[in-house]
Structure 1
Amino acid sequence: MSVPRWLRTAGLVLAAFAGGAVTSQAVHARNQSSSPYDPFDQLSWVLVLVENHYVDPAQRNKIVEGAIKGMVAELDPHSAYMTPQEYALFQSDTEGKFGGIGVEVDFRDERVMVLAPMEGSPAARAGMKPGDEIVAIEGKPVRGERLEKIIGLMRGPAGSRVRITLRRQGVSEAIQLDLAREEIHVASVVGKRLDSDVAYLKLRQFQAGTHDELLRVTAKLRAESTRPLRGVLLDMRNNPGGLVDEAEAIADEMLDAGVIYTTRHRGKVIDEVKANSGGALAGLPIVTLVNEYSASSSELVAGALQDNRRASVIGSSTFGKGSVQTIFDLPGGAGMRLTTMRYYTPSGRSIQAQGIQPDVRVEASRPLQPGEVVRESDLDGHLSAEAGGGTANTNVARGPIVRATADDTGPARDVPADPTKGSDFVLATGYKMLIEKLGAAPR
């Protein structure tokens, strides 16, 4: 008797499911063993199955590298295994120099927008302008791509070339630029002397040499007038963090005594870092600006100044990354970023998944939409505030709320000598508070 095709097909499907069930039971039985090596046996089983049965021949190195990446990434959002190429990119970020075209970009609605080309850079010489949209790199559209991938495409060895496609408002045709990459040096500290002898200091990130940059910029501002500086407006908005030792050194310049931060490993205090006397800015009143993109080391500095009553903190709640990553060199040029500690403010407040709450909170005039702002506590697999999942000291709102008169409370690129006459509402609010501390009217 012939068997209908549908029945033969059903039989094959059932056989496949039955085989899978038998295999699953066999693996499950092995998992009942108490041997600590069972997970490695499981990994070996999967490796053999992939190599023997995957639709195309699989490269063992690629499989193992993926397994290592997954193992480390499963720990928390900030631990990561880095391939040699990724590790080199990471190191160039912390050193503040890399091969690239020299352009500052912003990501808006999945679009890559040019904020400004760096002075003297390949991008500037080629005529790239603020407001241009980068639509393709090497002919590949970039809209919706991950930030890390886009940055990786623009960077490369000095002397190598890259083709950038731009869209410019008022220009109908796409603009094609063929650029030669150069070694780009990124300044991490920007300073300006404002009215009423206020020093505006913008800390972009904490990279190798940031502390020395701060001292040089401060000395330059002091040399611009015979009058002494009277106060500091410290802007750490959009500062993603960076090297903890650089942040520690900068906080030390603004404190004359007291604890800067403590670190804990598996619930035990590992280190207590204290300030030395004689900081370069220790005698000046300070107002600090932060926002939801102020993270990690910038939160460490803000918390140190706030708890030691050295600065009023203005803006919005910070990102909430209160963990320390240690960098390990691995064979073959690879590296690993591994979370090894949590850090705490001088009063013992946990920053992890809580952030720093400003003394004066500035909110946008319109309600933020769900998902518009992402903080540490929104990330899958984020660490709790305390080891073991407990709740740390509650970091509640500390002071009044000021509502901005415009939707955009983000930092403006240009800082006027009198910030109250500019469009940056948070900067203007911080400047007015500092002037009140100094007891002088803006001039």
Structure 2
Amino acid sequence: MPSQIPPTDSTPKQAKAKWMRTASVGLAGVVAGILIALQLPAFAEKASPPSQTTGLPIQDLRTFAEVFNAIKQGYVEPVEDKKLINNAISGMVSNLDPHSTYLDAEAFKELQVGTHGEFGGLGIEVGMEDGFVKVIAPIEDTPAARAGLKTGDLIVKIDDTAVKGLTLNEAVKKLRGKPKTQVTLTIARKGMNKPLVVTLTREVIKVQSVKFKMLEPGYGYVRITQFQETTISALVNAVNQLYKNGPLKGLILDLRNDPGGLLNAAVGVSAVFLPPDDLVVSTDGRAPDAKHKFYAKPEDYQHGREDDLRNLPAGIKTVPMIVLVNGGSASASEIVAGALQDYKRATVLGTQTFGKGSVQTVLPLPGNTAIKITTARYYTPKGRSIQAKGIEPDVEVEETPGAKKNGLREADLGGHLVNEKDKDAKDSKPEADKANNKNGKNSAKDDDMEPGLAIADYTTAKDRQFVEAIKRLGGTPPVAANKDAKVSANEPAVTEKPAKPVQ
């Protein structure tokens, strides 16, 4: 069967010359268009030594243009220019690290809506690694959570479409859709010999950022599911409600499976429990505006609005606290946990967090599109970098009996940023990249992963971390409904970390 390919050395000279003339015209047009659009002096570039070049690399642009033209001329089916350019931008950004991505108009709109706490879909925070979609955390009270999806699940198929080869934006588009429509996911999960197939019905996802309840007189519980624009005011309301009947003796702040969100919300949440003007987090990057320190003061979390924290009960600054974390606690969750841990304001209890210590900035582009790129690393008040390392709890408690400690984390993602303060970081990144590039297989750590406790079981007798937390605060642990749910007092579930100076 004849193939449509560019001429080779065996092609008749006239045909080859004609193809080359066409290619040359296309090449010149593309390069000229790029340079004119960006207003860059192409010829001045040639005169500069490579070490002094500050503009675009002309030779590499020519290579790009040749590839572009070859696809336009010889690909088996016609391809629109816009699609090729969008794919090129997407590949350029997504190959930087696991959290940088190109947002087309639809994805950009969904991102903006999502920060307000409402969007359409399944209610699942996902990431992309080597072409596979992995569950970072299901969002509470959503189809994904009710279906039992767990941190670390690997989505291998969406309906009849294999995920391998899709971009993250393409996968998200297939996961989302009109409310009341269904989507079938094929899930690979540790401990299951066969893939798990689940059918979910899409909903309009309205995320309740803060949930709270009085456990018993004097003991409160607050869970933050995601850091949004409304999180600070919702937390203030929760605190005031918990203090209605008098001072608290203890408070549990649950950040488990919270994938993060807005930086200013994390600063505001920290400010609820810290003295005014305490440093909460600092960021450092190459650009001048990426170097910043955020304090527990209104101008760093309210963005010019009236201070939500002005009417908090005074006792919230000193009430004994325990912060619950696990491998699904990421980004903004780690900022809060790290700040409260550095100041010894709270005991952090649970398992090591995800380790996403980088800041992403959304840069709008023409056509209602945008790029989300990593612009800085963030650091705890004592200067610790969490990137690819996470927050180590003061008290380590497994979620379920025999659960593995090495679940999916930032350090397992191919292309992750290294922790520049970790002397072993330079060795760990290539190993993670190598493990994640073996024909699309999971890394060894993924294969060893044990799914965590279901969100529906939080604050019950099955929740070992919660049981240990309430005991340490002096409250009454919940009673198991049956013998299988009991937590034995003899189980070696708790590991107390010795006190050590912060490096």
Compared CA separation, residues 411 and 267, structure 1 to 2 (3 A): farther
CA distance in 1, matches of 2:71, 2:362: 31
Which residue does 1:5 correspond to in 2?
none
**Shift of residue 130, structure 1, vs aligned partner:** 5.9
Other-structure match for 2:488: none
Please show how residues 310-349 of structure 1 align to structure 2 within 5 Å: 310-349=345-384
What is residue 413 of structure 1 aligned with on the other side? 456
2:403/2:452 contact within 8 Å kept = no
Candidates 357, 360, 366, aligned match of 2:402: 366
Cα distance in structure 1, aligned partners of 2:351 and 2:198: 38
Structure 1 residue aligned with 2:116: 95
- How far off is 1:386 after superposition? 2.4
Q: CA deviation at 1:156?
A: 3.7
Q: Distance in 2 between matches of 1:131 and 1:263?
A: 36
Aligned partners of 1:359 and 1:64: how far apart in 2? 49
**CA, structure 1 residues 230+66, in 2 after alignment: closer, same or farther (shift >3 Å)?**
same
**Paired residue for 2:412?**
378
SS of equivalent residue, structure 1 residue 95:
coil
Shift of the alpha carbon at 1:57?
A: 1.6
Question: Is 1:265 matched with 2:304?
Answer: no
Alpha-carbon RMSD across the aligned residues, in angstroms, is 4.4
Aligned to 1:287, the other structure's residue is in SS state strand
The answer as to whether partners of 2:281 and 2:380 remain within 8 angstroms in 1 is yes
Native 8 Å contact 2:266 2:336 kept in 1:
yes
Cα distance change on mapping 1:53 and 1:148 into 2, 3 Å: closer
| Structure 2 Cα separation of the partners of residues 302 and 154 of structure 1 | 31
SS of 1:232's equivalent in the other structure is strand
* Contact 1:196–1:442 (Cα < 8 Å) also in 2: no
Matched residue type, 2:76: V
Which amino acid is 2:464 matched to? F
Aligned residue identity for 1:293 = G
1:59 paired to 2:102: no
What residue in structure 2 maps to residue 48 of structure 1?
69
Specify the alignment match of 1:350 in structure 2. 385
Paired amino acid for 1:344: Y
| Deviation for aligned residue 1:38 | 1.7
1:96-133, Cα deviation, whole Å (9 max, x unpaired): 11235x778999xx999xx99959xxx8xxxx97669x
1:212 to 216, 233, 240: 233
TM-aligned CA deviation for residue 283 of structure 1: 2.4
Relative to 1, partners in 2 of residues 1:75 and 1:176: Cα closer, same or farther, differing over 3 Å?
A: closer
Instruction: Note closer, same or farther for the CA distance 1:63–1:219 as it changes in structure 2 (3 Å cut).
Output: same
1:254 is the counterpart of 2:273 = yes
TM-superposed CA distance for 1:356, in Å, is: 0.6
Give, in whole Å, the separation in 2 of the partners of 1:106 and 1:39. 33
Instruction: Please list, as runs of the form range in 1=range in 2, the aligned pairs for 1:18-167 lying within 5 A after superposition.
Output: 34=50, 36-100=57-121, 118=141, 140-141=159-160, 152-153=173-174, 155-156=176-177, 162-163=181-182
| 1:409–1:424 CA contact under 8 A, matched in 2 | no
Paired residues, number: 370
Residue 244 of structure 1 corresponds to which residue in structure 2?
263
Q: What is the distance in 1 between the residues matched to 2:89 and 2:351?
A: 37
**TM-score, L = length of structure 1:** 0.70
Deviation by residue 1:260-319 (Cα, 9 ceiling, x = unmatched): 111111398822222249765212111001011111110000000000110000111111
2:458 and 2:412 map into 1 onto residues whose CA distance is 32
Unaligned runs of 5+ in 2: 1-6, 21-45, 128-132, 150-157, 187-196, 298-308, 426-449, 479-503
Aligned equivalents of 1:197, 1:275: Cα separation in 2: 26
Q: TM-score, normalised by structure 2?
A: 0.63
- CA shift, 1:220, in A, is 2.6
Q: Does 1:282 align with 2:309?
A: no
The one of 211, 232, 244 aligned to 1:190 = 211
User: What are the Cα deviations for residues 330-387 of structure 1, in whole angstroms up to 9, with x where unaligned?
Assistant: 1111111111111100110001111111001123543639xx7211111111111129
For the 8 Å contact 1:411–1:426, the answer to whether it is kept is no
**Helix, strand or coil: the match of 2:76?**
coil
Mapped to 2, the partners of 1:106 and 1:390 lie a distance apart of 30
Instruction: Return the match for 1:423 from 462, 466, 470.
Output: 462
User: 1:116–1:129: 8 Å Cα contact kept in structure 2?
Assistant: no
State the alpha-carbon separation in 2 of the partners of residues 246 and 329 from structure 1. 21
What are the Cα deviations for residues 393-415 of structure 1, in whole angstroms up to 9, with x where unaligned? xxxxxxxxxxxxxx876254255
CA distance in 2, matches of 1:85, 1:219: 39
1:119-162 deviation per Cα after TM superposition (whole angstroms, max 9, x unaligned): 9xxx8xxxx97669xxxxxx9358978897676446445xx652
